[in-house]
Amino acid sequence: MTDVRLDVQVQDGKQPVQGLKKEDFLITDEGQPQAISYFAHEKEPLNLLLLLDISGSMTKYIAQMAQTAREALGVLRPMDRVAIMVFSKRAEVHQEFSDNIAESARQIAHAVEDHDVGAGTLINAAVVSAAQYMSENAGPKGRRAILILTDNLSLSYQLTDGQVIRELNKADTVLNGLLVGRAIRPRPSEPGRYENKDYTPADVYHLAEATGGEAIRVDQPELTFREMVERIRARYTLTYAEPPSTPGTFRRVRVTLTPDARSRFPNAEIHTREGYSS
Protein backbone atom coordinates (compact mmCIF):
# COMPACT_ATOMS: atom_id res chain seq x y z
CA MET A 1 0.00 0.00 0.00
CA THR A 2 1.32 3.44 -0.96
CA ASP A 3 1.49 6.31 1.49
CA VAL A 4 0.45 9.86 0.67
CA ARG A 5 2.92 12.33 2.13
CA LEU A 6 1.88 15.91 2.88
CA ASP A 7 4.19 18.79 3.69
CA VAL A 8 2.06 21.23 5.70
CA GLN A 9 2.63 24.83 6.69
CA VAL A 10 0.55 26.37 9.48
CA GLN A 11 0.93 30.12 9.70
CA ASP A 12 -0.57 32.86 11.86
CA GLY A 13 0.14 36.11 10.04
CA LYS A 14 3.81 35.95 9.11
CA GLN A 15 4.72 33.58 11.93
CA PRO A 16 4.75 29.76 11.71
CA VAL A 17 2.56 28.04 14.29
CA GLN A 18 4.79 25.76 16.35
CA GLY A 19 4.03 22.96 18.76
CA LEU A 20 1.00 21.37 17.07
CA LYS A 21 0.56 17.62 17.54
CA LYS A 22 -0.80 14.83 15.40
CA GLU A 23 -4.16 15.10 17.18
CA ASP A 24 -4.52 18.72 16.05
CA PHE A 25 -4.89 17.85 12.35
CA LEU A 26 -7.68 16.42 10.21
CA ILE A 27 -7.15 15.07 6.67
CA THR A 28 -9.73 14.29 4.01
CA ASP A 29 -9.06 12.60 0.66
CA GLU A 30 -11.87 13.26 -1.81
CA GLY A 31 -13.94 14.30 1.19
CA GLN A 32 -13.31 11.10 3.16
CA PRO A 33 -11.53 11.31 6.56
CA GLN A 34 -8.10 9.65 6.68
CA ALA A 35 -6.13 8.31 9.64
CA ILE A 36 -2.72 9.92 10.05
CA SER A 37 -0.14 7.13 10.07
CA TYR A 38 2.97 9.29 10.51
CA PHE A 39 3.53 12.75 11.97
CA ALA A 40 6.70 14.81 12.35
CA HIS A 41 7.64 18.40 13.05
CA GLU A 42 11.17 19.73 12.57
CA LYS A 43 12.90 16.40 13.30
CA GLU A 44 12.64 15.41 9.63
CA PRO A 45 15.77 16.30 7.64
CA LEU A 46 15.24 18.87 4.91
CA ASN A 47 16.48 18.64 1.32
CA LEU A 48 16.46 22.25 0.07
CA LEU A 49 17.19 23.09 -3.56
CA LEU A 50 17.94 26.74 -4.33
CA LEU A 51 16.82 27.46 -7.90
CA LEU A 52 18.42 30.72 -9.06
CA ASP A 53 17.40 32.69 -12.14
CA ILE A 54 20.71 34.03 -13.52
CA SER A 55 19.34 35.87 -16.56
CA GLY A 56 20.83 39.34 -17.00
CA SER A 57 18.26 41.26 -14.98
CA MET A 58 18.70 38.96 -11.98
CA THR A 59 22.44 39.34 -11.33
CA LYS A 60 22.10 42.11 -8.75
CA TYR A 61 19.49 40.20 -6.77
CA ILE A 62 21.68 37.11 -6.50
CA ALA A 63 24.52 39.30 -5.24
CA GLN A 64 22.18 40.74 -2.62
CA MET A 65 21.01 37.27 -1.63
CA ALA A 66 24.59 36.07 -1.27
CA GLN A 67 25.32 38.81 1.27
CA THR A 68 23.10 37.19 3.90
CA ALA A 69 23.27 33.57 2.71
CA ARG A 70 25.39 32.37 5.61
CA GLU A 71 22.94 33.78 8.14
CA ALA A 72 19.88 32.59 6.21
CA LEU A 73 21.10 29.02 5.76
CA GLY A 74 22.38 29.06 9.34
CA VAL A 75 18.86 28.25 10.55
CA LEU A 76 19.22 24.79 8.97
CA ARG A 77 20.22 21.81 11.06
CA PRO A 78 23.21 19.47 10.73
CA MET A 79 21.06 16.76 9.09
CA ASP A 80 19.78 19.14 6.38
CA ARG A 81 21.23 19.34 2.86
CA VAL A 82 21.33 22.09 0.25
CA ALA A 83 21.74 21.91 -3.53
CA ILE A 84 22.00 24.84 -5.95
CA MET A 85 20.69 24.90 -9.52
CA VAL A 86 20.85 27.87 -11.90
CA PHE A 87 18.80 28.59 -14.99
CA SER A 88 17.98 30.95 -17.78
CA LYS A 89 17.11 29.21 -21.05
CA ARG A 90 18.55 25.96 -19.65
CA ALA A 91 19.01 24.69 -16.12
CA GLU A 92 22.29 23.36 -14.70
CA VAL A 93 23.33 22.06 -11.30
CA HIS A 94 25.82 24.40 -9.62
CA GLN A 95 26.23 22.36 -6.43
CA GLU A 96 25.07 18.85 -5.68
CA PHE A 97 23.26 18.17 -2.39
CA SER A 98 25.62 18.85 0.50
CA ASP A 99 25.37 19.06 4.28
CA ASN A 100 28.19 21.63 4.29
CA ILE A 101 25.88 24.58 4.84
CA ALA A 102 28.65 27.18 5.07
CA GLU A 103 30.04 26.13 1.69
CA SER A 104 26.54 26.17 0.18
CA ALA A 105 26.12 29.76 1.37
CA ARG A 106 29.48 30.69 -0.20
CA GLN A 107 28.57 29.07 -3.51
CA ILE A 108 25.57 31.35 -4.11
CA ALA A 109 27.92 34.23 -4.93
CA HIS A 110 29.65 32.13 -7.61
CA ALA A 111 26.48 30.82 -9.26
CA VAL A 112 26.29 33.53 -11.92
CA GLU A 113 29.89 33.44 -13.11
CA ASP A 114 30.29 29.68 -13.49
CA HIS A 115 27.51 28.96 -16.00
CA ASP A 116 26.43 29.80 -19.54
CA VAL A 117 22.79 28.75 -19.68
CA GLY A 118 21.71 30.67 -22.77
CA ALA A 119 19.65 33.76 -23.47
CA GLY A 120 16.01 33.93 -22.47
CA THR A 121 14.22 32.63 -19.40
CA LEU A 122 12.21 29.41 -19.18
CA ILE A 123 10.87 29.17 -15.63
CA ASN A 124 8.53 26.20 -16.06
CA ALA A 125 11.24 24.09 -17.69
CA ALA A 126 13.66 25.00 -14.89
CA VAL A 127 11.18 23.99 -12.18
CA VAL A 128 10.60 20.65 -13.92
CA SER A 129 14.38 20.09 -14.07
CA ALA A 130 14.61 20.90 -10.36
CA ALA A 131 11.78 18.50 -9.51
CA GLN A 132 13.38 15.71 -11.52
CA TYR A 133 16.75 16.37 -9.89
CA MET A 134 15.04 16.17 -6.51
CA SER A 135 13.45 12.81 -7.38
CA GLU A 136 16.78 11.37 -8.49
CA ASN A 137 19.08 12.78 -5.82
CA ALA A 138 17.27 13.73 -2.60
CA GLY A 139 17.07 10.15 -1.34
CA PRO A 140 14.20 8.46 0.49
CA LYS A 141 14.51 10.34 3.78
CA GLY A 142 13.36 13.80 4.72
CA ARG A 143 11.26 16.60 3.36
CA ARG A 144 11.81 18.22 -0.03
CA ALA A 145 11.54 21.90 -0.92
CA ILE A 146 12.59 24.15 -3.79
CA LEU A 147 13.17 27.88 -3.22
CA ILE A 148 13.24 29.80 -6.49
CA LEU A 149 14.58 33.34 -6.92
CA THR A 150 13.21 34.94 -10.09
CA ASP A 151 11.34 37.93 -11.52
CA ASN A 152 8.55 35.65 -12.83
CA LEU A 153 8.97 36.99 -16.39
CA SER A 154 8.93 34.08 -18.82
CA LEU A 155 6.97 32.26 -21.50
CA SER A 156 7.10 28.46 -21.54
CA TYR A 157 6.69 26.60 -24.82
CA GLN A 158 4.31 23.63 -24.56
CA LEU A 159 4.85 23.24 -20.83
CA THR A 160 1.79 24.19 -18.83
CA ASP A 161 1.50 24.89 -15.13
CA GLY A 162 -0.47 21.66 -14.77
CA GLN A 163 2.43 19.62 -16.12
CA VAL A 164 4.86 21.38 -13.79
CA ILE A 165 2.64 20.80 -10.76
CA ARG A 166 2.37 17.10 -11.60
CA GLU A 167 6.17 16.82 -11.69
CA LEU A 168 6.48 18.59 -8.32
CA ASN A 169 3.83 16.32 -6.79
CA LYS A 170 5.54 13.21 -8.19
CA ALA A 171 8.73 14.40 -6.49
CA ASP A 172 6.88 15.11 -3.20
CA THR A 173 8.34 18.61 -3.43
CA VAL A 174 6.97 21.96 -2.30
CA LEU A 175 7.83 25.04 -4.38
CA ASN A 176 8.46 28.37 -2.65
CA GLY A 177 9.45 31.63 -4.31
CA LEU A 178 11.19 34.92 -3.69
CA LEU A 179 9.98 37.12 -6.55
CA VAL A 180 11.83 40.30 -7.36
CA GLY A 181 11.69 43.14 -9.89
CA ARG A 182 8.34 43.47 -11.64
CA ALA A 183 7.29 39.98 -10.49
CA ILE A 184 4.02 40.18 -12.40
CA ARG A 185 1.32 37.60 -11.74
CA PRO A 186 -0.49 36.81 -15.01
CA ARG A 187 -4.14 37.72 -15.21
CA PRO A 188 -6.66 34.85 -15.28
CA SER A 189 -7.89 33.80 -18.70
CA GLU A 190 -10.81 35.88 -19.97
CA PRO A 191 -13.85 34.00 -21.31
CA GLY A 192 -14.02 34.13 -25.10
CA ARG A 193 -10.50 35.52 -25.52
CA TYR A 194 -8.15 33.48 -27.72
CA GLU A 195 -4.96 32.28 -26.05
CA ASN A 196 -2.24 30.12 -27.54
CA LYS A 197 -2.06 27.18 -25.15
CA ASP A 198 1.39 26.26 -26.49
CA TYR A 199 2.81 29.39 -24.85
CA THR A 200 2.06 29.89 -21.18
CA PRO A 201 3.23 32.84 -19.06
CA ALA A 202 5.18 32.01 -15.94
CA ASP A 203 3.17 32.00 -12.72
CA VAL A 204 5.35 30.98 -9.79
CA TYR A 205 2.58 32.20 -7.47
CA HIS A 206 0.25 29.52 -8.84
CA LEU A 207 2.89 26.77 -8.80
CA ALA A 208 3.70 27.52 -5.16
CA GLU A 209 0.07 27.65 -4.03
CA ALA A 210 -0.81 24.39 -5.78
CA THR A 211 2.05 22.51 -4.10
CA GLY A 212 1.44 24.01 -0.65
CA GLY A 213 4.26 26.53 -0.69
CA GLU A 214 4.30 30.30 -0.78
CA ALA A 215 5.63 32.86 -3.22
CA ILE A 216 6.12 36.43 -2.09
CA ARG A 217 7.20 39.56 -3.90
CA VAL A 218 10.20 41.22 -2.25
CA ASP A 219 12.26 44.33 -2.94
CA GLN A 220 15.29 43.17 -0.97
CA PRO A 221 15.62 39.37 -1.15
CA GLU A 222 18.54 39.36 1.27
CA LEU A 223 16.21 40.54 4.04
CA THR A 224 13.55 37.89 3.35
CA PHE A 225 15.84 34.94 2.57
CA ARG A 226 16.24 33.87 6.20
CA GLU A 227 12.53 34.27 6.98
CA MET A 228 11.62 32.03 4.06
CA VAL A 229 14.14 29.34 5.03
CA GLU A 230 12.85 29.45 8.62
CA ARG A 231 9.28 28.92 7.46
CA ILE A 232 10.30 26.08 5.15
CA ARG A 233 12.18 24.46 8.04
CA ALA A 234 9.20 24.78 10.44
CA ARG A 235 6.68 22.81 8.37
CA TYR A 236 4.88 19.62 9.46
CA THR A 237 4.93 16.20 7.81
CA LEU A 238 1.69 14.17 7.70
CA THR A 239 1.33 10.76 6.07
CA TYR A 240 -1.68 8.50 5.46
CA ALA A 241 -2.40 5.34 3.46
CA GLU A 242 -3.59 6.04 -0.08
CA PRO A 243 -7.22 4.91 -0.50
CA PRO A 244 -8.12 2.54 -3.37
CA SER A 245 -8.72 4.48 -6.60
CA THR A 246 -8.48 4.30 -10.37
CA PRO A 247 -4.83 4.69 -11.43
CA GLY A 248 -4.05 8.06 -12.97
CA THR A 249 -6.92 9.97 -11.39
CA PHE A 250 -6.33 13.21 -9.48
CA ARG A 251 -7.48 13.08 -5.88
CA ARG A 252 -8.09 16.26 -3.89
CA VAL A 253 -6.73 16.50 -0.38
CA ARG A 254 -7.68 18.89 2.41
CA VAL A 255 -5.92 19.46 5.73
CA THR A 256 -7.65 21.35 8.54
CA LEU A 257 -7.23 21.90 12.26
CA THR A 258 -9.47 20.18 14.77
CA PRO A 259 -12.02 22.42 16.55
CA ASP A 260 -9.82 22.43 19.67
CA ALA A 261 -6.72 23.49 17.73
CA ARG A 262 -8.73 26.08 15.79
CA SER A 263 -9.94 27.58 19.06
CA ARG A 264 -6.30 28.06 20.08
CA PHE A 265 -5.25 29.46 16.69
CA PRO A 266 -8.40 31.04 15.19
CA ASN A 267 -6.47 32.96 12.51
CA ALA A 268 -4.18 30.14 11.43
CA GLU A 269 -3.83 29.45 7.70
CA ILE A 270 -2.89 26.00 6.40
CA HIS A 271 -0.93 25.46 3.20
CA THR A 272 -0.41 22.07 1.59
CA ARG A 273 -0.66 20.65 -1.90
CA GLU A 274 -4.06 20.50 -3.59
CA GLY A 275 -3.88 16.75 -4.19
CA TYR A 276 -2.06 13.97 -5.99
CA SER A 277 -2.39 11.56 -8.92
CA SER A 278 -3.09 7.99 -7.87
User: How confident is the prediction along the chain (278 residues), in pLDDT tens digits per residue?
Assistant: 689 999 999 999 878 999 999 999 999 999 999 999 999 998 889 999 999 999 888 889 999 999 999 999 999 999 999 999 999 989 999 999 999 999 999 999 998 877 777 777 899 999 999 999 999 999 988 999 999 999 998 887 778 899 999 999 999 999 999 999 888 887 766 666 666 666 778 899 999 999 999 999 998 888 799 999 999 999 999 999 999 989 889 999 999 999 999 999 999 999 999 999 88
The structure's pTM equals 0.92
Cβ atoms 203, 159 nearer than 8 A: no
Distance (Å, rounded) from C-alpha 96 to C-alpha 137?
Answer: 9
Residue ranges and CATH numbers for the domains of the chain are 3-42+236-277 (no CATH), 46-233 (3.40.50.410)
